[in-house]
Structure 1
Amino acid sequence: MWRRSPIQLPLLLLLLRQSPVSRSFSQSTSIPKNLQRVRDHGFDNVMEAEKKVRRALQLQSYLLSQPSGSLPVSQLDALARRYHAIGPDETGHFLLKHPHVFHVFDHPVQRLLWVRLTPGAALRLRQESDALRSMLPDAVRRLRKLLLLAASSRRLRLEHIRLVRHDLGLPDDFLQSVVLANPSFFRLVVSSDFPDDPRAHYVEFVDEPGDGNDLAELTTCAIERIRELQYRERGADAEDSRFAFLINFPPGFKIGKYYRIAVWKWQRLPYWSPYEDVSGYDLRSLEAQRRTEKRMVATIHELLSLTVEKRMTMERIAQFRQAIGLPKKLKDFLLQHQGIFYFSTRGHHGKLHTVFLREAYHKGDLVEPNELYLARRKLCELLLLSPKKANLDRMLTSLGRGMDAFSDGRSGAKSKLIGDQGEQRSENEDSGSDSDVESQFVD
């Protein structure tokens, strides 16, 4: 019978210690990569409803561009097919399926089908405009924190900020009403080499002397406030969550023994703050690389926390990759942390991908909704109403009666709807038209 040599047993133990499986889970604090994406239908349902919202905003933008606020259905269908690749007759079917938003009527003179917004949709526009104005100071604060995320330079491209203005709750004219109107907070920098190139225009953070308390408040992350609440509630028992994130895995996500251990180690790994400048550190060591990886998670977490709806498309996040220090393979990185973020491919016909902050949502709604989010939610609620419940008697008004907001031909319909000071948002650009130019400005 074969007998094991006394020298072979220590050699076997040494090989086991150096095996890839043992090394990756017992010594490393990195979460395993190449994880399969698990769908969360709660977030996917939000994006399915968002698909209708985007279509409604596209059609609404053409109506608001007219002085009367109305268009022939045939002309609206031609515009939608030309600029948004919508199939024939799809626009007409969409209008008839959502009578709470669009009112289709017979023109009294031309004897053609025309369409305009309903009073409920017009009210929603006014509510969103009022919410946008009331939350403008908060939007200024969010923009300042976004500039501070670019810790090394404290500046971002003006074009990149313009593309995310809807996410940050900024008005369309934010360059005038926010940046130039607050010289103590922001500075517009134009490159002398390319003054006419929009990519050479930057918005820079202005650090006023003596505002140390304000700067300390701006550089406090959202996750740090959550940990502070845990310390107050749990006391010394919350010491283990000093560097931890809120993790909530999607239903059906398989959590193995070794993966659980890796997450446990990763949660206790210290890291640098997203607002801290790490350009002077030596990042070649393994410990520095681990901290940098966790810092990237904190940076994306903070970026999503600054948005109104706690979500942003991956393409818009990628714009800030070089400025705020994000990984090149952003999609794989997000899938590696599915307990913190959710990556959805629904709602944009496969062209854009939406990243959600999981902890901010519960059953498809924000845990802490704000005024602007609730105002934008009104349109989705109108689109989800059954057409059978539409009160057609109240909507069947004549062309010139009951819709005075659309009847003045001297100015646009939108200015009549939301007032002279309410022209803060352009529904044409909020409807998703920026998605065609995003790829041109992705670093």
Structure 2
Amino acid sequence: MEASELRIKTFIAHYPDLFSFVHLADDCIGLELLSWNDTLAVSQLEKNAFLQMEEDLKNNCLAFPIGFTRGFGLKRKCVEWLKEWQKPPYTSLYADASHLDPRTDVSEKRIVGVFHELLHLTIEKKTERQNVSNLLKPLSLPQKFTKVFERHPGIFYISKMCDTQTVVLREAYDCQRLIHRHPLVDIRERFASMMRKGFMDRSRGLYKKTANVGLEVPSKIVLGLI
């Protein structure tokens, strides 16, 4: 058993009234929520409903924040389509969507809402694209559901750094700066910086193995400089 799997099982064992492991049809193990709390089943878009137009709130036609980089040109036809696409009712990630026709804008808006919420739940408001590829069945998504990332560049941004596709929530960033930084973001960045420095120091030969203790120590210690 991997360490990460052990930590998850240990954590779940502390909350038997909330979670339970279940066996899925594909021989995988899933996690079942035993106690549902409606007060927690509120998406970020719904929490920010005060920013919406009163008429839209009345019809539950919540609109997603849209933003484009400077110089990103949209044809007038695309602008009109985007306005019309925002008008259908918003279906929350936490609501039953089994009745939706996957060929409609309402269904597509629900898919966008799913990933809008999931990215909001991440620490850095982004995730690798492959991380969402297994969500088709658990979230009742249609085939090729990740096409919404390309169809809605004003909501999502696809980064392709280091040959890795990462889905980024546009509204969470001001250029490349995360607007609301979780404390863990700083911890991660400091840890990554320490690791990079360690690798660079090692590549420059600043660490050597001593024959006596078999530990890596700075080369200046080996040279008797301290």
Partner of 1:292: 107
Equivalent position to 2:130, from 302, 310, 315: 315
Deviations 1:143-185 (A, max 9, x none): xxxxxxxxxxxxxxxxxxx9xxxxxxxx653322322221111
Equivalent pair of 2:92/2:113 in contact (CA under 8 Å): yes
In the other structure, the counterpart of 2:165 is: 353
Contact 2:207 2:216 in 1 (8 A): no
Residues 108 and 148 in structure 2, CA contact (< 8 A), matched pair in contact too: no
Q: Equivalences for 1:14-163 in 2 at 5 Å?
A: none
Shift of 1:336: 0.4
TM-score (norm 2): 0.75
The answer to whether the 8 Å contact 2:100/2:106 transfers is no
Q: Contact between 1:271 and 1:292, CA under 8 Å: does it hold in 2?
A: no
Per-residue CA deviations over 1:32-79 (Å, capped at 9, x if unaligned) read xxxxxxxxxxxxxxxxxxxxxxxxxxxxxxxxxxxxxxxxxxxxxxxx
**TM-score of the pair, normalised by structure 1:** 0.41
Code of the residue aligned with 2:168 in structure 1: it is F
Q: CA, structure 1 residues 338+176, in 2 after alignment: closer, same or farther (shift >3 Å)?
A: same
Instruction: Indicate the RMSD between aligned Cα atoms, in angstroms.
Output: 3.3
Contact 1:180 1:188 in 2 (8 A): no
If you compute each CA radius of gyration, which structure gives the higher value, 1 or 2? 1
Aligned residue for 2:15, secondary structure, equals: coil
Q: Which has the higher contact order (CA 8 A, sep 6+)?
A: 1
Q: Shift in Å at residue 238 of structure 1?
A: 5.1
Q: Tell me the distance in 2 between the aligned counterparts of 1:320 and 1:357.
A: 18
1:283 aligned residue: 101
Given candidates 195, 216, 219, the residue that maps to 2:38 is 216
SS in 1 for 2:21: strand
Q: Distance in 1 between matches of 2:146 and 2:70?
A: 20
Unaligned runs of 5+ in 2: 218-226
In the alignment, does 2:106 pair up with 1:273?
no
Following the alignment from structure 1 to structure 2, what is the Cα–Cα distance between the partners of residues 380 and 247?
32
Which is helix-richer, 1 or 2? 1
Asked whether the 8 Å contact 2:23–2:29 carries over to 1, the reply is: yes
CA 1:328–1:311 in structure 2 vs 1: closer, same or farther (change >3 Å)? same
Instruction: Note the C-alpha offset of 1:382.
Output: 4.6
State how far apart, in whole Å, the 1-side matches of 2:137 and 2:23 are: 19
1: CA distance, partners of 2:34 / 2:121: 19
Which stretches in structure 1 are left out of the alignment for 5+ residues?
A: 1-161, 163-170, 209-214, 232-236, 405-443
- Report the structure, 1 or 2, having the larger strand content: 2
Match of 2:177 among 353, 365, 381: 365
Alpha carbons of structure 1 residues 308 and 206: separation in structure 2 relative to 1, 3 Å = same
Structure 2 match to 1:377: 189
SS in 2 for 1:244: coil
Taking structure 1 as reference, are residues 364 and 248 closer, same or farther at Cα in structure 2, changes over 3 Å only? same
CA distance in 2 between partners of 1:325 and 1:258 (Å): 31
Q: In the comparison of the two structures, how many residue pairs are matched?
A: 204
Map residues 298-337 of structure 1 onto 2, 5 A cutoff.
298-337=113-152
